[in-house]
Amino acid sequence: MREQLLAAEKVKAIDWRDGALYLLDQRALPFEETWVRYDSAAAVAQAIKDMVVRGAPAIGIAAAYGLALGVRARLAEGDDWQMALEEDFEVLNNSRPTAVNLFWALNRMRERLYRLKDSDDALAIMNAEAEAIHESDREANLTMAQLGVDLIRRHQGNLQTLLTHCNTGALATGGFGTALGVIRAAYLDGLVERVYADETRPWLQGSRLTAWELLNEGIPVSLNADSAAAHLMKTKGITWVIVGADRITANGDVANKIGTYQLAVNAMHHGVRFMVVAPSSTIDMNLESGDDIPIEERAGSELLELAGKRVAADVDAVNPVFDVTPADLIDFIVTEKGVVERPDKAKMALLMCRKRLH
């Protein structure tokens, strides 16, 4: 299946070449495919904040390249370059709060930085570390896709009707996706009849990005309002909800795009299986439970306006953009280290002791 999956990789959103970072501007999709060039850490941090690049693993990868750009600029400034680089760590660290992949990638870059010797080519090594982070995410996607498909086949062998939320595909990762990677692989394996994609209010990752990715690959997809999900579970024979994650805590609670929690409640009520697909870089063993996860609040204008035009009455809006699904609503967490069924603290700890499966 690996070869089949690699052949199915069509879209990419992050490109590192000639010492610069190129990002496919996700704000312009699906109507325009515009690539923007970045050559400083501060500019990459702003791109993350503005959601030119989004999705937990993709944010981490972009931040690692942003830091590598910082290293080049700081080296040119002189002897105290490592001290000056702290400013770049700081600006990247502050770009978005919820997805832990961002901090994970920056920590990995920091660890590599600390191991540099005086005789090393610092720039080459830090560039290579960012590239390795990118490549390992791509590999993780492939492993998770295979594990996810095995689960679907094991639990329900026939054609499946799936529901997903937000965008977890090639646009959100270094490869072809987490949850969407499993869905792609299941389709290649002949297991998918139809995918329902939540539109994912208010930023519309579902209608603008997931629908675009699936359409490009000829995977049967229908778009639905987020509020239609329970009704669809009841009437359309949905067998699996498959979503990604932005941060998973030590007890197996999962932060993901706002609306995921209500999907899990509805899935349990309707006997629909609930699968979370995320690389281990999304797991934060430093936090005991989902209550400790900082939840990003974005501007109310994302709700009050549509395409820049006011559509709401003259009210304030509250716009938390992630929520936390408690572990006891989750059937499976699929990572590149293996699968956790009915997650809890002990199972998460065991998983994190394991090596990657690839």
Residues involved in catalysis: 246
Binds ligand MRU by CB under 6 A, chosen from 108, 208, 247, 257: 257
Q: Angle CA(150)–CA(155)–CA(159) in degrees, nearest 5?
A: 85
Chain center to CA of 125:
26
- Residue number with CB closer to ligand MRU (60 or 70): 60
Of 144, 57, 164, nearest to 104 by C-alpha is 57
Q: Report whether 205 belongs to an annotated binding site.
A: yes
Q: Return the residues of window 92-151 that contact ligand MRU according to CB under 6 A.
A: 99
By the rule CB under 6 A, 205 interacts with ligand MRU: yes
146 a known binding residue?
A: no
User: Is cis: bond before 202, omega within 30 of 0?
Assistant: yes
Alpha-carbon gap, residue 98 to 293, rounded angstroms? 7
* For ligand MRU, the closer CB: 101 or 127: 101
The size of the chain, in residues, is 358
Single residue of 13, 54, 148, 160 touching ligand MRU by CB under 6 A: 54
Q: Using DSSP, how many helices (H) and how many strands (E) does the chain show? A: 13, 16
The H or E element spanning position 248 is strand 247-249
Asked whether residue 298 is marked as a ligand-binding residue, the answer is no
Nearer to ligand MRU, 161 or 281 (CB): 281
Nearer to ligand MRU, 70 or 175 (CB): 175
> Among residues 14, 23, 52, 56, which is the contact residue for ligand MRU, using CB under 6 A?
56
Nearer to ligand MRU by Cβ, of 95 and 239: the residue is 95
- The answer to whether the beta carbons of residues 91 and 41 sit under 8 Å apart is yes
Which 162-191 positions form the footprint of ligand MRU (CB under 6 A)? 166, 168, 172-173, 178
Which residue among 129, 137, 246, 284 contacts ligand MRU (CB under 6 A)?
246
**Distance in Å, CB of 314 to ligand MRU, minimum:** 27
Cβ 166 vs Cβ 198: under 8 Å: yes
Alpha helices by DSSP H, listed for the chain, are: 2-7, 41-49, 56-77, 81-93, 101-114, 122-155, 179-188, 205, 211-216, 229-235, 260-270, 301-304, 345-353
| 122/166 with CB nearer ligand MRU | 166
Strand 273-277 vs strand 240-243: parallel, antiparallel, or unpaired?
parallel
Q: Which residues inside 304-323 make contact with ligand MRU, applying CB under 6 A?
A: 321
Q: Least distance (Å) from ligand MRU to the CB of residue 179? A: 7
With CB under 6 A as the contact rule, which of the stretches 32-40, 142-150, 212-220, 243-251 interacts with ligand MRU? 243-251
To ligand MRU, the closest distance from the beta carbon of 294 in angstroms equals: 14
101 belongs to an annotated ligand binding site: no
Q: Which residue, among 169, 279, 166, has the nearest Cα to 223 in the 3D structure?
A: 166
Interface segment toward ligand MRU; rule CB under 6 A; list 49-57, 123-131, 286-294, 350-358: 49-57
User: Residues 23, 27, 31, 36: what is their CA dihedral angle, to the nearest 10 degrees?
Assistant: -30
289 and 251 Cβ atoms separated by less than 8 Å? yes
* Residues of this chain that bind ligand MRU (CB under 6 A): 54-57, 99, 166, 168, 172-173, 178, 205, 244-246, 256-257, 321
Bind-site residues for substrate:
54-56, 96, 205, 256-257
Bind-site residues:
54-56, 96, 205, 256-257
